[in-house]
Amino acid sequence: MLTINNAVKIFSQGTPNEHKALSGLNLHLERGEFVTVVGSNGAGKSTMFNAICGNFLLNSGSIFVDGQNITYMKEHKRAGFIGRVFQDPMKGTAPNLTIEENLALAYSRQKTGPFGAAVNKKNRDMFKEALSEFNMGLEDRMQTKVGLLSGGQRQVVTLLMCTLVTPKLLLLDEHTAALDPATAEKVMEITERIVDRNNLTTLMITHNLNSALRTGTRTIMMDSGNIILDVSGEERAKMTLDDLLNMYSLKKKEAFDNDRMLLS
Protein backbone atom coordinates (compact mmCIF):
# COMPACT_ATOMS: atom_id res chain seq x y z
CA MET A 1 0.00 0.00 0.00
CA LEU A 2 2.74 2.48 1.02
CA THR A 3 6.28 2.08 -0.23
CA ILE A 4 9.10 4.55 0.41
CA ASN A 5 12.29 3.76 -1.48
CA ASN A 6 15.65 5.24 -0.45
CA ALA A 7 14.15 8.61 0.48
CA VAL A 8 16.63 11.45 1.03
CA LYS A 9 15.71 14.94 2.16
CA ILE A 10 18.34 17.59 2.80
CA PHE A 11 17.42 21.01 4.14
CA SER A 12 19.60 24.09 3.48
CA GLN A 13 21.79 22.03 1.18
CA GLY A 14 25.17 23.56 0.45
CA THR A 15 25.02 25.95 3.41
CA PRO A 16 26.58 25.83 6.89
CA ASN A 17 23.11 24.84 8.17
CA GLU A 18 22.78 21.80 5.92
CA HIS A 19 20.78 19.03 7.58
CA LYS A 20 19.97 15.60 6.21
CA ALA A 21 16.53 14.88 7.67
CA LEU A 22 15.94 11.62 5.77
CA SER A 23 18.92 9.38 5.06
CA GLY A 24 17.95 6.76 2.49
CA LEU A 25 14.72 5.84 4.29
CA ASN A 26 13.01 2.61 3.22
CA LEU A 27 9.56 1.58 4.45
CA HIS A 28 6.77 -0.67 3.20
CA LEU A 29 3.26 -0.99 4.65
CA GLU A 30 0.77 -3.64 3.57
CA ARG A 31 -2.87 -2.70 3.19
CA GLY A 32 -4.58 -2.44 6.59
CA GLU A 33 -1.37 -2.24 8.66
CA PHE A 34 -1.45 0.11 11.66
CA VAL A 35 2.15 1.15 12.35
CA THR A 36 3.22 3.27 15.31
CA VAL A 37 6.29 5.47 14.85
CA VAL A 38 8.59 6.47 17.71
CA GLY A 39 11.90 8.26 17.95
CA SER A 40 13.57 11.18 19.70
CA ASN A 41 13.13 14.78 18.56
CA GLY A 42 14.81 15.33 15.19
CA ALA A 43 14.68 11.64 14.26
CA GLY A 44 12.83 12.40 11.02
CA LYS A 45 9.29 11.33 11.93
CA SER A 46 7.46 14.49 10.90
CA THR A 47 9.78 14.93 7.92
CA MET A 48 8.68 11.49 6.70
CA PHE A 49 5.02 12.52 7.08
CA ASN A 50 5.65 15.80 5.25
CA ALA A 51 7.35 13.92 2.42
CA ILE A 52 4.40 11.54 2.11
CA CYS A 53 1.94 14.47 2.06
CA GLY A 54 3.95 16.43 -0.48
CA ASN A 55 4.86 19.42 1.69
CA PHE A 56 8.18 19.31 -0.15
CA LEU A 57 9.87 17.17 -2.79
CA LEU A 58 12.56 14.65 -1.94
CA ASN A 59 16.14 15.21 -3.01
CA SER A 60 16.13 11.61 -4.17
CA GLY A 61 14.11 8.44 -3.73
CA SER A 62 10.47 7.64 -4.43
CA ILE A 63 7.09 7.23 -2.71
CA PHE A 64 4.29 4.94 -3.91
CA VAL A 65 0.74 4.73 -2.53
CA ASP A 66 -1.41 1.83 -3.71
CA GLY A 67 1.00 1.22 -6.56
CA GLN A 68 0.90 4.84 -7.78
CA ASN A 69 4.10 6.87 -7.90
CA ILE A 70 3.29 10.08 -6.01
CA THR A 71 6.88 11.32 -5.65
CA TYR A 72 6.24 14.43 -7.75
CA MET A 73 2.48 14.72 -7.24
CA LYS A 74 1.19 18.09 -6.01
CA GLU A 75 0.24 18.31 -2.32
CA HIS A 76 -3.43 19.16 -2.97
CA LYS A 77 -3.85 16.10 -5.17
CA ARG A 78 -2.39 13.81 -2.51
CA ALA A 79 -4.86 15.26 0.00
CA GLY A 80 -7.64 13.52 -1.92
CA PHE A 81 -6.46 10.10 -0.72
CA ILE A 82 -4.16 10.80 2.24
CA GLY A 83 -5.74 11.90 5.53
CA ARG A 84 -3.68 13.61 8.23
CA VAL A 85 -4.52 14.61 11.79
CA PHE A 86 -2.04 16.97 13.47
CA GLN A 87 -0.94 17.35 17.09
CA ASP A 88 -2.39 20.86 17.23
CA PRO A 89 -6.21 20.67 17.42
CA MET A 90 -6.29 24.07 15.68
CA LYS A 91 -4.92 22.54 12.48
CA GLY A 92 -6.89 20.61 9.93
CA THR A 93 -10.18 22.49 10.38
CA ALA A 94 -11.61 25.90 9.54
CA PRO A 95 -12.39 27.45 12.97
CA ASN A 96 -14.87 30.01 11.66
CA LEU A 97 -16.97 27.39 9.88
CA THR A 98 -19.49 25.17 11.64
CA ILE A 99 -19.04 21.45 12.24
CA GLU A 100 -21.45 20.80 9.38
CA GLU A 101 -19.60 23.13 7.02
CA ASN A 102 -16.20 21.59 7.88
CA LEU A 103 -17.50 18.09 7.25
CA ALA A 104 -19.17 19.19 4.03
CA LEU A 105 -15.97 20.84 2.85
CA ALA A 106 -13.95 17.70 3.49
CA TYR A 107 -16.57 15.44 1.93
CA SER A 108 -17.00 17.53 -1.22
CA ARG A 109 -13.23 17.94 -1.68
CA GLN A 110 -12.70 14.20 -1.60
CA LYS A 111 -15.67 13.66 -3.89
CA THR A 112 -14.32 16.43 -6.20
CA GLY A 113 -17.69 18.14 -6.20
CA PRO A 114 -18.68 21.75 -5.34
CA PHE A 115 -18.85 22.74 -1.71
CA GLY A 116 -22.53 23.64 -1.82
CA ALA A 117 -23.53 20.24 -3.19
CA ALA A 118 -22.47 18.50 0.04
CA VAL A 119 -24.70 20.60 2.31
CA ASN A 120 -28.02 18.85 1.73
CA LYS A 121 -30.37 16.81 3.89
CA LYS A 122 -28.95 13.45 2.86
CA ASN A 123 -25.38 14.38 3.70
CA ARG A 124 -26.41 16.34 6.80
CA ASP A 125 -28.10 13.19 8.13
CA MET A 126 -24.99 11.16 7.26
CA PHE A 127 -22.75 13.59 9.16
CA LYS A 128 -25.02 13.49 12.23
CA GLU A 129 -25.16 9.70 12.22
CA ALA A 130 -21.38 9.45 11.95
CA LEU A 131 -20.84 11.90 14.82
CA SER A 132 -23.41 10.18 17.04
CA GLU A 133 -21.29 7.01 17.12
CA PHE A 134 -18.66 8.80 19.22
CA ASN A 135 -20.98 9.69 22.12
CA MET A 136 -19.65 13.24 22.47
CA GLY A 137 -22.88 15.09 21.68
CA LEU A 138 -21.38 16.62 18.53
CA GLU A 139 -24.35 15.49 16.42
CA ASP A 140 -26.44 18.05 18.34
CA ARG A 141 -23.95 20.87 17.69
CA MET A 142 -23.77 20.78 13.90
CA GLN A 143 -24.19 24.57 13.67
CA THR A 144 -21.47 25.30 16.25
CA LYS A 145 -18.28 26.87 14.92
CA VAL A 146 -15.39 24.44 15.23
CA GLY A 147 -13.25 27.12 16.90
CA LEU A 148 -15.55 26.95 19.93
CA LEU A 149 -15.01 23.21 20.48
CA SER A 150 -12.63 21.67 22.99
CA GLY A 151 -9.36 20.16 21.74
CA GLY A 152 -10.69 16.61 21.98
CA GLN A 153 -13.93 17.45 20.18
CA ARG A 154 -11.98 19.19 17.47
CA GLN A 155 -9.67 16.20 16.95
CA VAL A 156 -12.70 13.92 16.58
CA VAL A 157 -14.16 16.24 13.94
CA THR A 158 -10.81 16.23 12.14
CA LEU A 159 -10.66 12.44 12.29
CA LEU A 160 -14.11 12.22 10.75
CA MET A 161 -13.20 14.79 8.10
CA CYS A 162 -10.24 12.62 7.11
CA THR A 163 -12.26 9.40 6.95
CA LEU A 164 -15.76 10.34 5.70
CA VAL A 165 -14.46 9.16 2.35
CA THR A 166 -12.11 6.29 3.18
CA PRO A 167 -8.52 7.44 2.50
CA LYS A 168 -5.90 5.10 1.10
CA LEU A 169 -3.56 6.19 3.91
CA LEU A 170 -4.17 7.83 7.31
CA LEU A 171 -1.38 9.74 9.06
CA LEU A 172 -1.76 10.52 12.76
CA ASP A 173 0.85 13.08 13.78
CA GLU A 174 0.90 12.89 17.62
CA HIS A 175 -2.81 13.65 17.43
CA THR A 176 -3.45 13.10 21.16
CA ALA A 177 -0.29 14.75 22.56
CA ALA A 178 -1.95 18.13 23.27
CA LEU A 179 -4.95 16.60 25.08
CA ASP A 180 -5.43 15.80 28.75
CA PRO A 181 -5.05 12.06 29.60
CA ALA A 182 -8.78 11.27 29.78
CA THR A 183 -9.56 13.04 26.52
CA ALA A 184 -6.52 11.49 24.83
CA GLU A 185 -7.73 8.03 25.83
CA LYS A 186 -11.20 8.78 24.42
CA VAL A 187 -9.78 10.09 21.13
CA MET A 188 -7.52 7.03 20.83
CA GLU A 189 -10.51 4.75 21.41
CA ILE A 190 -12.39 6.51 18.60
CA THR A 191 -9.30 6.41 16.39
CA GLU A 192 -8.88 2.66 16.79
CA ARG A 193 -12.58 2.14 16.11
CA ILE A 194 -12.40 4.13 12.86
CA VAL A 195 -9.18 2.45 11.72
CA ASP A 196 -10.47 -1.04 12.50
CA ARG A 197 -13.90 -0.52 10.93
CA ASN A 198 -12.45 0.82 7.67
CA ASN A 199 -9.33 -1.39 7.63
CA LEU A 200 -7.28 1.80 7.17
CA THR A 201 -3.59 1.68 6.41
CA THR A 202 -2.28 3.92 9.19
CA LEU A 203 0.94 5.50 10.43
CA MET A 204 0.83 7.07 13.89
CA ILE A 205 3.63 9.13 15.43
CA THR A 206 3.62 8.98 19.21
CA HIS A 207 5.97 9.90 22.05
CA ASN A 208 4.27 7.44 24.36
CA LEU A 209 6.34 4.26 24.11
CA ASN A 210 3.82 2.16 26.03
CA SER A 211 1.05 3.29 23.69
CA ALA A 212 3.30 2.56 20.71
CA LEU A 213 3.60 -1.08 21.77
CA ARG A 214 -0.11 -1.46 22.62
CA THR A 215 -1.59 0.23 19.57
CA GLY A 216 -1.73 -1.13 16.04
CA THR A 217 0.11 -4.08 14.53
CA ARG A 218 3.73 -2.93 14.21
CA THR A 219 6.18 -0.44 15.74
CA ILE A 220 9.11 1.27 14.07
CA MET A 221 11.72 3.49 15.70
CA MET A 222 13.45 6.24 13.74
CA ASP A 223 16.81 7.89 14.35
CA SER A 224 18.83 10.30 12.20
CA GLY A 225 16.39 10.04 9.32
CA ASN A 226 16.22 6.29 9.12
CA ILE A 227 14.47 3.29 10.67
CA ILE A 228 16.65 1.51 13.22
CA LEU A 229 14.04 -0.83 14.75
CA ASP A 230 11.04 -2.56 13.20
CA VAL A 231 9.05 -5.00 15.36
CA SER A 232 5.74 -6.77 14.84
CA GLY A 233 3.93 -10.02 15.51
CA GLU A 234 4.86 -12.19 18.48
CA GLU A 235 8.10 -10.32 19.08
CA ARG A 236 6.18 -7.07 19.56
CA ALA A 237 3.40 -8.70 21.59
CA LYS A 238 5.92 -9.91 24.18
CA MET A 239 8.00 -6.75 24.19
CA THR A 240 8.15 -4.52 27.27
CA LEU A 241 9.21 -0.89 27.45
CA ASP A 242 12.59 -1.97 28.84
CA ASP A 243 13.02 -4.40 25.93
CA LEU A 244 12.40 -1.61 23.44
CA LEU A 245 14.86 0.73 25.15
CA ASN A 246 17.49 -2.02 25.34
CA MET A 247 17.10 -2.73 21.63
CA TYR A 248 17.59 0.96 20.93
CA SER A 249 20.74 1.02 23.05
CA LEU A 250 22.15 -2.00 21.25
CA LYS A 251 21.51 -0.41 17.86
CA LYS A 252 22.84 3.01 18.78
CA LYS A 253 25.37 1.97 21.43
CA GLU A 254 23.99 4.73 23.64
CA ALA A 255 21.16 5.14 26.15
CA PHE A 256 17.83 6.51 25.04
CA ASP A 257 17.67 9.98 26.56
CA ASN A 258 14.40 11.57 25.46
CA ASP A 259 12.70 12.47 28.75
CA ARG A 260 9.40 13.30 27.08
CA MET A 261 9.11 9.75 25.73
CA LEU A 262 10.26 8.02 28.89
CA LEU A 263 7.80 9.94 31.05
CA SER A 264 4.81 9.46 28.71
Q: What is the mean pLDDT of residues 10-35?
A: 96
Instruction: Give the per-residue pLDDT at 106.
Output: 87
Range of the domain at 250: 2-89+186-263
β-pair type (34-38, 218-223): parallel
Q: Is residue 176 part of a domain?
A: no
Split at pLDDT 50, 70, 90, the class of 264 is very low
Length reported for the chain: 264
Q: Is residue 85 part of a domain?
A: yes
Instruction: Give the per-residue pLDDT at 254.
Output: 57
Q: Is residue 137 part of a domain?
A: no
pLDDT at 258 over 60: no
pLDDT at 196 over 50: yes
pLDDT at 99 over 70: yes
Q: Is residue 236 part of a domain?
A: yes
Q: Determine the Cα–Cα distance for residues 43 and 21; give it in Å rounded to an integer.
A: 8
pLDDT (tens digit per residue) in 24-33 = 999 999 999 9
Q: Determine the Cα–Cα distance for residues 215 and 89; give it in Å rounded to an integer.
A: 21
pLDDT (tens digit per residue) in 103-126 = 998 888 765 544 544 577 888 999
Instruction: State the total domains in the chain.
Output: 1
User: 85: left (phi > 0), else alpha (psi -120 to 50), else beta?
Assistant: beta
62 three-state secondary structure: strand
Q: What is the mean pLDDT of residues 175-188?
A: 92
β-pair type (82-85, 169-173): parallel
Q: How many CA atoms lie within 13 A of 40 on its CB side?
A: 14
Query: What CATH number is associated with residue 63?
Result: 3.40.50.300
pLDDT (tens digit per residue) in 45-70 = 999 999 999 999 999 999 999 999 99
Q: Is residue 41 part of a domain?
A: yes
Q: What is the mean pLDDT of residues 168-178?
A: 95
Which residue in 146, 141, 134, 208 sits closest to 172, CA to CA? Answer: 208
Q: What is the mean pLDDT of residues 171-179?
A: 94
Q: What is the mean pLDDT of residues 61-85?
A: 95
For the residues of 2-25, what is the DSSP string, one character each? Answer: EEEEEEEEEESTTSTT-EEEEEEE
Number of continuous H segments (helices) and E segments (strands) in the chain = 11, 10
Q: CA triplet 149, 52, 190: central angle to 5 degrees? A: 35
pLDDT (tens digit per residue) in 203-246 = 999 988 989 999 999 999 999 999 999 999 999 999 998 998 88
Instruction: Give the per-residue pLDDT at 122.
Output: 86
245 or 196, higher pLDDT: 196
175 three-state secondary structure: coil
Q: In the predicted model, what is the mean pLDDT of the chain?
A: 90
* Highest-scoring range by mean pLDDT, 113-122, 174-183, 251-260: 174-183
Instruction: Give the per-residue pLDDT at 263.
Output: 41
